[in-house]
Structure 1
Amino acid sequence: MNALKEAIAFAEAAGSQWPESMHMPDGQFVMTYDSGEKAPDNEVLGPVTPRGGPAGIVYRGDKLVAEWGDVGRADMTFSVAKSFLSLLAGLAVGDGLIRSLDDKVAPTALDDGFESEQNRDITWRHLLTQTSEWQGTVFGKEDRIDHNRVVGVAVADAPKGTRRALKKPGTFYEYNDVRVNRLSLSLLQVFKEPLPSVLKRRVMDPIGASAGWRWDGYRNSTVTIDGRDMVSVPGGGHWGGGIMISARDLAAVGRLVAQGGMWDGRRVLPEGWTAELVKPCPVAPFYGLMWWLNTDRRQFAAASERSYFALGWGSHIVWIDPDHDLVTVLRWIDRKKAPGFVERLLGAIAP
């Protein structure tokens, strides 16, 4: 028990260095500041909400092992939203709206976003593994903004935002938020229903999530489908918006995934989808379908190699460890110190 208390104390003392206001002294949004973006690339399009403090929650199986901080407070969660998009993609596959992940996206597009020679062969799998090399502009943001972005790879050939020659879809990994927003728009076009509504009805309500979460879009991300105006939501908070959610609700989603998509004996996610999420991408074996893998223990050396993660800048971590039957959520922890918590927690709960 003392070891567990020490692990929690470590997490509480390892808080994010981001300003609570979420803005730097010069007024720039901390996310675009951290990304090194300058105007006009750094224009914020969605809501930005002041943040809370470090918080976390640990489940082992169905048992709540520990919690600290305000686990009921909804906060921005940044790229954890990408992992939510992968859950929605699974529902689309289960519903037959997407026949196969290896089908081309173009036939389902309600716009011209996949008509060019560069984009016409892009598949759903390419979008979900961030290997699409999609070229274009989504809600005023050009794919070029995240060219040469270093996330999950060691080096880039040029500074972030420097335009580079695009490669064949499926052959090159790049963490690119514009392309993730294109995935979100494409999913909206197949569901023909706002993604937050689909998520609430199909996932969040069945697992007993609170009413305090929301998924904010951009001021310019409203599209018209079948005569109805709908907001297309981003797959993160890079330019504001994204999923506002509590640690407690994140833990419920993590437990749903850890349980193979089942909740209280009811199937919520299609059978086999959670296994699909964690198949390594051939081009980027540290990445699944919008979930990070612990391949070669490159994320957390102390964690099981079968661990996988939803990760968001700031930092926000949903860590699922099948070998220890653990689901752990960390909010507002300094990313460089997170491995220290992982090591301490596993030391505390190991048989």
Structure 2
Amino acid sequence: MRTFGKWLGRVLLALLVAAVVIGLWKREEIARLLAVNSLFSEEKIVHNFSHMDGAFLYAPVSRGDGLTSELPYGPETELPETVDNWIAARDVTSLVVLKDGAIVYENYFQGTGPEDRRISWSVAKSYLSALVGILLDEGKIASLDDQVTKYAPTLKGSAYDGASLRNVLHMASGVTFDEDYLDYDSDINRMGRVVALGGRLDDFTAELTETFTEPGSQWQYVSIDTHVIGMVVRGATGRGIPELLSEKVIAPLGLEYAPYYIVDGSSTAFVLGGLNMTTRDYARFGQMYAQGGQWNGQQVVPEAWVQASTSPTAPTADGQIGYGYQWWIPVGAADGEYMARGIYGQYIYVDTARDVVIATNAADRKFREAGVSDQNIEIFREIATSVSGGT
């Protein structure tokens, strides 16, 4: 019996040592998984959205060697009282308004500040769209009607086999993908755990096999389509997205702070929602689009692409919000009115006719409730009218 006890003690000690070793080996992955599981909790969400580099692997995006292109300040503008109510109701953390390229309103809330690099969520999709337009102009990508498998051959045999680049830009791939952020077992949340645990998003995407319709026939917002766009860009250039975005977009804009991307275990950028930068720098990107893709006399994004990508060409249903190439066009939009939009209240809103750009970040846990998106758009329109002298 004493011999058995000694044996059992050794076994338990060995198991304890193994558990400690495995725990140390996996502690970073476990920490990231725990962070993901509490990412949107009420008491942590504001802090988390400004410190995503503490929860995920990440890669810096160089701001380049050039000087910062300072945004000028215009006359300070008092916004309508309804905006104050909206800020409180929607848990807004930052709001920057540009009129004629100058800051006329800037404020930060809930303990955040101008240096916070905030998570973009799906606002990042519009940045990737800009890269596509540049690469088309350079001839690196031959045509929007090229099959995605031409540039991403690992997708042959997957649900994306037969889809074109235009299809995925339009969110009309026909691929089955559950985008329910509130369902732990949804595809979008499974994908988040892949990122947190250091998996490969390319593998995750190639393993998707189900479709619900033919490519190009129906609009359905499917965030994984944007990852496929990223695969196309990487395949067409042989380069990573952070490096390309830095060279083609970030460096020319002269950002104040270097952004960063959340990345997966293979250092592939989470292009569908992992870009982090200051609210002021989000506004700068919107202003460049409002100026037809120009910044400081340089054509950063081709003007024709700015127009094409922000036009409602996707096959959305009648009366539904419009969609272009990774940009949203509100119902009843005036010419040149469009926006980048992300979950929990991230926006870059552009009103080209009034030369107004609004960038806002939020931690709105009620962003999916009926009427919230429409309310946000109406507030943006009210702000644009107000800073334009009521016209």
Structure 1 residues 101 and 68, CA, compared in 2 at 3 Å: closer, same or farther? same
Q: Which residue of the other structure, out of 245, 248, 251, is the alignment partner of 2:277?
A: 245
Structure 1 residue 332: Cα displacement: 0.4
- Counterpart residue type for residue 281 of structure 1: T
Show the counterpart of 1:342. Answer: 380
Q: Which residue of the other structure, out of 269, 294, 299, is the alignment partner of 1:233?
A: 269
Show the counterpart of 2:126. Answer: 83
Matched, 1:61 2:104: no
Matched, 1:265 2:297: yes
Show the counterpart of 1:201. Answer: 247
After superposition, what is the alpha-carbon deviation per residue over 1:269-308, rounded to whole angstroms, capped at 9, x for unaligned? 12411011122224127100000001335xxxxxx46410
Structure 1 residue 333: Cα displacement: 6.2
Q: Which residue of the other structure, out of 316, 320, 323, is the alignment partner of 1:284?
A: 316
What CA RMSD, in Å, does the superposition of the two structures yield over aligned residues?
Answer: 2.7
Q: Does the CA contact (< 8 Å) of 2:351 and 2:384 recur in 1?
A: no
- Counterpart residue type for residue 101 of structure 1: L
Matched, 1:132 2:173: yes
Secondary structure of the equivalent of 2:154?
A: coil
Structure 1 residue 325: Cα displacement: 1.2
Give the whole-Å Cα distance in 1 for the aligned partners of 2:307 and 2:79. 30
Structure with the higher fraction of residues in helix conformation: 2
Q: Which residue of the other structure, out of 343, 349, 352, is the alignment partner of 1:322?
A: 352
Show the counterpart of 2:47. Answer: none
Structure 1 residue 13: Cα displacement: 1.9
- Counterpart residue type for residue 342 of structure 1: F
Structure 1 residues 11 and 305, CA, compared in 2 at 3 Å: closer, same or farther? farther
Structure 1 residue 125: Cα displacement: 0.6
| Percent of matched pairs sharing the same residue | 24
Structure 1 residue 202: Cα displacement: 1.3
After superposition, what is the alpha-carbon deviation per residue over 1:72-95, rounded to whole angstroms, capped at 9, x for unaligned? 310111111111110111121122
Matched, 1:114 2:151: no
Show the counterpart of 1:311. Answer: 341
Show the counterpart of 1:44. Answer: none
Show the counterpart of 1:217. Answer: 263
Structure 1 residue 132: Cα displacement: 1.3
Structure 1 residue 59: Cα displacement: 0.8
Q: Does the CA contact (< 8 Å) of 2:219 and 2:314 recur in 1?
A: no
After superposition, what is the alpha-carbon deviation per residue over 1:42-101, rounded to whole angstroms, capped at 9, x for unaligned? xxxxxxxxxxx6111111122221111123310111111111110111121122111111
Give the whole-Å Cα distance in 2 for the aligned partners of 1:311 and 1:10. 21
Secondary structure of the equivalent of 1:112?
A: helix
After superposition, what is the alpha-carbon deviation per residue over 1:152-194, rounded to whole angstroms, capped at 9, x for unaligned? xxxxxxxxxxx97521111122211222222212211212111
Secondary structure of the equivalent of 1:199?
A: helix
Show the counterpart of 1:154. Answer: none
Aligned length: 271
- TM value normalised by structure 1: 0.70
Q: Which moved more, 1:95-104 or 1:246-255?
A: 95-104
Structure 1 residues 14 and 71, CA, compared in 2 at 3 Å: closer, same or farther? farther
Matched, 1:99 2:142: yes
Q: Does the CA contact (< 8 Å) of 1:75 and 1:244 recur in 2?
A: yes
- Counterpart residue type for residue 79 of structure 1: S
Structure 1 residues 122 and 164, CA, compared in 2 at 3 Å: closer, same or farther? closer
Structure 1 residues 91 and 306, CA, compared in 2 at 3 Å: closer, same or farther? closer
Structure 1 residue 114: Cα displacement: 3.1
Structure with larger Rg:
2
Structure 1 residue 126: Cα displacement: 0.5
Structure 1 gaps of 5+ residues are: 17-52, 137-143, 147-162, 223-230, 298-303
- Counterpart residue type for residue 315 of structure 2: V
Give the whole-Å Cα distance in 1 for the aligned partners of 2:276 and 2:363. 17
Structure 1 residue 263: Cα displacement: 0.7
- Counterpart residue type for residue 251 of structure 1: A
- Counterpart residue type for residue 252 of structure 2: P
Matched, 1:9 2:9: no
Show the counterpart of 1:183. Answer: 229
Structure 1 residues 100 and 251, CA, compared in 2 at 3 Å: closer, same or farther? same
Q: Does the CA contact (< 8 Å) of 1:11 and 1:333 recur in 2?
A: no
Secondary structure of the equivalent of 1:283?
A: coil
Give the whole-Å Cα distance in 2 for the aligned partners of 1:339 and 1:278. 16
Structure 1 residue 211: Cα displacement: 2.9
